[in-house]
Amino acid sequence: MSTEVVITGTGVPHLAPGRAGPGVLVRHGETALQFDAGRATALRLCEAGTQPQALSALFITHHHSDHLTGLVDVIFARWLQTHDRHVPLPIVAPSGPATRFLERMLDPWQDDIDVRIEHAGHPHRPDPVVTAFEASAGPVEVWRQGDVRVLACTVHHEPVVPAVAYRVETPDGAVVISGDTIACEEVQKLAQGADVLVHEAFRRALIAPAIERMPHLATIAAYHADTAEIGPLATKAGVRTLVLTHLIPAPTNEKQKQGFADDVRAGGYDGELIVADDLTLVRF
């Protein structure tokens, strides 16, 4: 058996053709774990060959909208595509704003849910089962089933608190998903010896000239991971494969993608390096 990592979305709030909102799918045998659910995640899951009803659990990194706008779609697809075989989606999230969002997210849809139940005789409601955990800098185990477990630790995406990274361990090895964060020691430690590190990437040097015209870009730059700092992090962590996602600014051609890779290589990283597109798949 092997473990597969599929990037379900490489995008950010700003729209870019072909780039769904942030998300990563990890598969090992019958276990399918989704991390975040940005726009069009349900469609990408379908394209990746894992329907929403096949998910074992879904994990939230933080409460920014770009990581959550596709979540209700995943929940409804899972519910409507299974009818009387519906199993509520387990969702794991750090306690706080993310779990508050999860408690309220189906409220605007109650009339729709009621009319569908009445009309189609759904025996269940679509409500997911939410498990909240207290996020901390030291990793905590947040999920385990059979020989697969998931750990979480806090990262640095302030003022968005808490924001967490996840580490998935299977008998094949480990994959770490940074979520949104600056390049930080917590992710470096969590990713120690991992087969795959999926890290967000922000080309600060490329954005810098625009900051004078658009000062708000400075605040965005301050809470994302500069590509120049990801290379040293991945090198210290000793990860075999580094996958860049949540790409800012979104590359629209191979030359721009290569720019992300060049920044990371300049930081000394010499492992396998992938600048992800939607549905990029890595196996270990």
Give the active site residues: 66
Size of the site for Zn ion (CB under 5 A): 3
- Residue from 4, 66, 226, 278 binding Zn ion (CB under 5 A): 66
180 binds Zn ion (CB under 5 A): yes
At residue 157's C-alpha, the angle toward residues 185 and 11, to 5°, is 105
Longest dimension (CA), the chain: 60
250 touches 11 (CB < 8 A): yes
Q: Which stretch binds Zn ion (CB under 5 A): 61-69, 87-95, 126-134, 253-261?
A: 61-69
Q: Which residue lies nearer to Zn ion by CB, 98 or 148?
A: 98
CB of 272 to Zn ion, least distance (A): 24
- Residue from 64, 156, 199, 203 binding Zn ion (CB under 5 A): 64
With a CB cutoff of 8 Å and minimum separation 6, the contacts of 49 are none
CB of 87 to Zn ion, least distance (A): 29
> In 3D, which of 207, 209, 139 has the Cα closest to residue 174?
139
3-state DSSP helix/strand/coil % of the chain, to nearest 5: 35, 30, 40
Q: Which residue lies nearer to Zn ion by CB, 180 or 263?
A: 180
Stretch (H or E) spanning 5: strand 3-9
> In 3D, which of 190, 187, 217, 211 has the Cα closest to residue 200?
187
Q: Which stretch binds Zn ion (CB under 5 A): 52-60, 75-83, 178-186, 255-263?
A: 178-186
CB of 228 to Zn ion, least distance (A): 19
Helices 41-48 & 71-80 angle (0-180, nearest 10): 60
Start-to-end CA distance of the chain, whole Å, equals 9
CB of 175 to Zn ion, least distance (A): 19
36 binds Zn ion (CB under 5 A): no
118 CB neighbour count, 10 Å cutoff? 9
Q: Which residue lies nearer to Zn ion by CB, 180 or 195?
A: 180
Q: Which residue lies nearer to Zn ion by CB, 148 or 225?
A: 225
CB of 248 to Zn ion, least distance (A): 9
Q: Which residue lies nearer to Zn ion by CB, 69 or 131?
A: 69
Residues that bind Zn ion (CB under 5 A): 64, 66, 180
